[in-house]
Structure 1
Amino acid sequence: MEDLIAVLTGGSVQFLAALVFLYVLLKIFNRVRYTGRKRPPGPPSLPLIGHFHHLLFGMPHHSLAKIAEKYGSIVWVELGAVNAVVVTSSDMAREVLKTQDHIFASRPSGIVVEKVFKKAQGLVWSPFNDHFRLARKIILTELFSEKRIDSFKDLRRQMTFRTLRTAFEEGHAKHYINLADLMHNQFISLTTRMLFQLDRHAQNKDLLEIVDDFTSAGWFVIEEFFPLLKPLDLSGQVRRLKNIGERYFELLDSIIDNRLKENSNSKSNTEEDFLDVLLATSKFSRVQVQLLLLDIIIVGTDTSSDTIVWAITELLRHPNIMERLQSELDDAIGKERLVEEADLNNLEYLQAVVKETLRLHPVAALGVPHYSTEATKVAGYDIPANTRVMLNLYAIGRDPKVWENPLKFDPSRFLNSSIDVKGQHYEVLPFGSGRRKCPGMNLALVSVPYNLAQLVHACTISLPKGLTHLDVDVEEKFGMTVVRRNPLNLLLKRRLPSEVYRRAGLQFSDV
Structure 2
Amino acid sequence: MPIMVWAWTILVLVMLAYLLREWTWKRMNKTKTLPPGPRGLPIFGNLHMFGELPHRDLHRLAQKYGPIMHLRLGFVPTIVVSSPQVAELFLKAHDLVFASRPPSEAAKHMSYEQKNLSFSPYGPYWRNIRKMCTLELLSNVKINSFRSMRKEELGLLVKFIEKAGCDCIVVDLSAKISSLSADMSCRMVFGKKYMDKDFDERGFKDVIQEGMHLGATPNLGDYIPYIGPLDLQGLRRRMKVISKIFDAFFEKIIDDHVQSKDENKIKDFVDVMLSFMGSEDSEYRVERSNIKAILLDMLVGSMDTTATAIEWTISEVIKHPRVMKKLQKELEDVVGLERMVEESDLDRLEYLDMVVKETMRLHPIAPLLLPHEAMEDITIQGFHIPKKSRLIVNIWAIGRDPSVWTDAEKFFPERFVGSSIDLRGRDFQLLPFGSGRRGCPGLQLGLTAVRLVVAQLVHCFDWELPNNMLPTELDMTEEFGITVPRAKHLLAIPRCRLHK
**TM-score using structure 1 length:** 0.90
Is 1:457 matched with 2:459?
A: yes
Query: Matched residues in 1 for 2:199 and 2:125: separation?
Result: 29
Is 1:234 matched with 2:232?
A: yes
2:40 alignment partner, one of 34, 42, 45: 45
**Deviation digits for residues 231-269 of structure 1, max 9, x if unmatched?**
3323221101111112211111111012111136x146x
Question: What is the match of residue 306 of structure 2?
Answer: 304
Question: What is the match of residue 213 of structure 2?
Answer: 216
Question: What is the match of residue 410 of structure 2?
Answer: 408
Contact 1:207/1:248 (<8 A) preserved: no
**Deviation digits for residues 461-484 of structure 1, max 9, x if unmatched?**
110112101201322121121111
Query: Matched residues in 2 for 1:204 and 1:185: separation?
Result: 13
Q: Counterpart amino acid of 2:471? A: H
Question: What is the match of residue 64 of structure 2?
Answer: 70
Structure 1 residues 173, 23: CA separation in 2 closer, same or farther (over 3 Å shift)? farther
**Deviation digits for residues 172-223 of structure 1, max 9, x if unmatched?**
4443232222111111111111011131323256544432321232422423
Contact 2:199/2:245 (<8 A) preserved: no
Matches within 5 A, 1:248-259: 248-259=246-257
Structure 1 residues 50, 258: CA separation in 2 closer, same or farther (over 3 Å shift)? same
Question: What is the match of residue 54 of structure 1?
Answer: 49
Q: Counterpart amino acid of 1:214? A: G
Contact 1:23/1:48 (<8 A) preserved: no
Query: Matched residues in 2 for 1:48 and 1:169: separation?
Result: 59
Matches within 5 A, 1:20-35: 21-22=15-16, 24-25=18-19, 26-35=21-30
Q: Could you tell me how far 1:156 is from its partner in structure 2?
A: 0.7
**TM-score using structure 2 length:** 0.92
Structure 1 residues 155, 24: CA separation in 2 closer, same or farther (over 3 Å shift)? same
Q: Counterpart amino acid of 2:87? A: A
Is 1:93 matched with 2:91?
A: no
Matches within 5 A, 1:74-473: 74-201=68-195, 202-203=197-198, 206-223=203-220, 224-263=222-261, 266-267=263-264, 271-281=266-276, 282=279, 283-473=285-475
Query: Matched residues in 2 for 1:32 and 1:176: separation?
Result: 64
Q: Could you tell me how far 1:402 is from its partner in structure 2?
A: 1.1
Contact 1:189/1:204 (<8 A) preserved: no
Q: Could you tell me how far 1:37 is from its partner in structure 2?
A: 1.4
**Which segments of 5 or more consecutive residues in structure 1 lack a partner in the other structure?**
1-12, 500-511
Query: Matched residues in 2 for 1:33 and 1:169: separation?
Result: 69
Query: Matched residues in 2 for 1:86 and 1:462: separation?
Result: 40
User: Equivalent pairs: percent with the same residue?
Assistant: 35
Query: Matched residues in 2 for 1:23 and 1:128: separation?
Result: 29
Contact 2:175/2:489 (<8 A) preserved: no
Query: Matched residues in 2 for 1:42 and 1:15: separation?
Result: 32
**Deviation digits for residues 29-79 of structure 1, max 9, x if unmatched?**
433443221111101222232111220x34210111111111111100111
Q: Counterpart amino acid of 1:317? A: K
Could you say what secondary structure the match of 1:103 adopts?
Answer: coil
Moved more, 226-235 or 99-108: 226-235
Q: Could you tell me how far 1:20 is from its partner in structure 2?
A: 7.0
Contact 1:50/1:77 (<8 A) preserved: yes
Structure 1 residues 130, 267: CA separation in 2 closer, same or farther (over 3 Å shift)? farther
Could you say what secondary structure the match of 2:485 adopts?
Answer: strand
Query: Matched residues in 2 for 1:417 and 1:375: separation?
Result: 37
Q: Counterpart amino acid of 1:256? A: I
Q: Counterpart amino acid of 1:254? A: K
Question: What is the match of residue 484 of structure 1?
Answer: 486
Structure 1 residues 338, 29: CA separation in 2 closer, same or farther (over 3 Å shift)? same
Structure 1 residues 16, 51: CA separation in 2 closer, same or farther (over 3 Å shift)? farther
**Which segments of 5 or more consecutive residues in structure 2 lack a partner in the other structure?**
1-6, 280-284
Moved more, 196-205 or 140-149: 196-205
Aligned residue pairs: how many? Answer: 482
Could you say what secondary structure the match of 1:291 adopts?
Answer: helix
Query: Matched residues in 2 for 1:141 and 1:260: separation?
Result: 22
Structure 1 residues 203, 493: CA separation in 2 closer, same or farther (over 3 Å shift)? farther
Query: Matched residues in 2 for 1:334 and 1:490: separation?
Result: 24
The alignment's C-alpha RMSD in Å is: 2.0
Contact 2:106/2:214 (<8 A) preserved: no
Could you say what secondary structure the match of 1:422 adopts?
Answer: coil
Query: Matched residues in 2 for 1:275 and 1:459: separation?
Result: 37
